[in-house]
Amino acid sequence: MKIRIKPGYVEILFKNARNSIGVLQSERVTEAVNLMGSLIDTYQYARTNIVESAWHNPNLIVHTVGAIMSASRIEYSRGDFWMYKEAFTPSIWNIIKQLDAEKNSVIKSFGGKESAYIDECKFRTEDDLQQDSMEVFKSYAAEGGPKGPDSLDTRFIYEDVPGFNGCYEQS
């Protein structure tokens, strides 16, 4: 994860334990993984295809649901909002599970492998994959995760869901 400090500068807050890629030409997957792995050491894994790779990005679901469903709290708190500590109540987990099922349906229809959001989150962030996925998430939340977002004009919506730009109007 990164946060922008000023134009041209970011602060890296977290490095994923592992990342996966999808390749358009499946016969070149080994070549692609080797190339990516030589550039960024966490890229050592391949997905079935690019749809599976893109849609298993955990932020696609958790950041958008957390931010959108916490819109009033984000605006009210004026920068004192901790999404991972505050947003993920049982009702919000029900929404995440429903969106996750839809995500997996799309992945499956493109010939990819289904996987739960919470397992993908653990895969990307945790060194020890033997741990319970929900416990990994709860531990991250208890540690605070990143503070924010502090407004609805946030990467949690606009970067994590491409094409969503233009929906935010500040009053």
What CATH code is carried by the domain that includes residue 53? Answer: 1.10.1040.10
Task: Give the chain's end-to-end CA distance (angstroms, integer).
Answer: 29
What pTM does this model have?
A: 0.82
Spatial separation of the C-alpha atoms in residues 100 and 61, rounded to whole Å: 7
Asked whether residue 7 is domain-assigned, the answer is no
Asked whether residue 146 is domain-assigned, the answer is yes
Count of positions (residues) in the chain: 171
Give per-residue pLDDT as tens, 43-70: 999 999 999 999 998 888 999 999 999 9
Give per-residue pLDDT as tens, 65-79: 999 999 999 999 988
The domain total for the chain is 1
Q: Which domain holds residue 68?
A: 49-158
Asked whether residue 55 is domain-assigned, the answer is yes
Spatial separation of the C-alpha atoms in residues 63 and 160, rounded to whole Å: 7
Asked whether residue 87 is domain-assigned, the answer is yes
Asked whether residue 79 is domain-assigned, the answer is yes
